[in-house]
Amino acid sequence: GESVGLHLPTLSVQEGDNSIINCAYSNSASDYFIWYKQESGKGPQFIIDIRSNMDKRQGQRVTVLLNKTVKHLSLQIAATQPGDSAVYFCAEIPGSNDYKLSFGAGTTVTVRA
Amino acid sequence: DTAVSQTPKYLVTQMGNDKSIKCEQNLGHDTMYWYKQDSKKFLKIMFSYNNKELIINETVPNRFSPKSPDKAHLNLHINSLELGDSAVYFCASSQLPRSSGGTDTQYFGPGTRLTVL
């Protein structure tokens, strides 16, 4: 399953398939990006991050891709599992401020058994 | 062991009351934050403290006052609660800022769901 465009609030994906969650950012000065996962009733949990001097970073079952030309960030989840059902947020830190993390609106991922 | 903890988890109160939410982190981080998450899941930063010093203060009504007694604690006091204050409030912490050789990864607490009646 894949979310497209600036923002798609929900994404439904079959268990075992790969998921792609997209995020567009507006600040060309942003140099650090993070993906968070928020399960129901819990706080956001760090998944993976990437700095602007990279275009790809891989973690365990997750890959983040950064396209600075079009200011686009994506999170790919391989072999999606029921435990991956959550709201996923992309967040950016503008280069001018080390502290201010700006969150996107979030995409709700639902994994179908 | 909980890295970032908040109390209470749920808070239901009447309009006009004053309430506090407490946050503690045992990660040894220097920077702590308060975020507000609305009903549409949108997360917005409210405040940030670094070593007990206020470094971010977004456009938040002055009814909201953060207090940091030490770098492991950042409490949020809210005066004269209004209906629109109903939300989930998250505390977070991070290590030293990048300019001091640290990272930006913020670790979040479990949240406090505030309901104003």
Q: Of A101, A20, A25, which Cα lies nearest the Cα of B107?
A: A101
Chain B residues near residue A33 by CB distance under 8 angstroms:
none
Spatial neighbors of A73 by CB under 8 A, at least 6 apart, are A22, A23, A24, A25, A33, A35, A50, A64, A65, A66, A67, A90, A92
- Given this model, what pLDDT does residue A20 score? 95
Percent of the residues in chain A that have a pLDDT greater than 70, as a whole number: 88
Name A90's bridge partners: A35
What's the length of chain A? 113
Please state, in angstroms and rounded to a whole number, the distance separating the CA atoms of residues B60 and B47.
9
Query: For chain A, what percentages of helix, strand and coil (3-state, to nearest 5) are there?
Result: 5, 55, 45
pLDDT (mean) for A19-39 = 90
pLDDT digit string, tens, across residues A80-103: 999 999 999 999 887 666 667 888
Token reading at A47: 């998944």
Question: Residue A58: what are its φ and ψ, rounded to 5°?
Answer: -115, 145
Chain B residues near residue A108 by CB distance under 8 angstroms:
41
Instruction: Determine, for residues B42 and A44 on separate chains, whether the beta-carbon distance falls below 8 Å.
Output: no
Residue B100 to chain A, least CA–CA distance (Å): 10
- Given this model, what pLDDT does residue A3 score? 46
pLDDT digit string, tens, across residues B49-106: 888 888 888 878 999 999 999 989 999 999 999 999 999 999 999 886 655 555 668 8
pLDDT at A5 exceeding the cut of 50: no
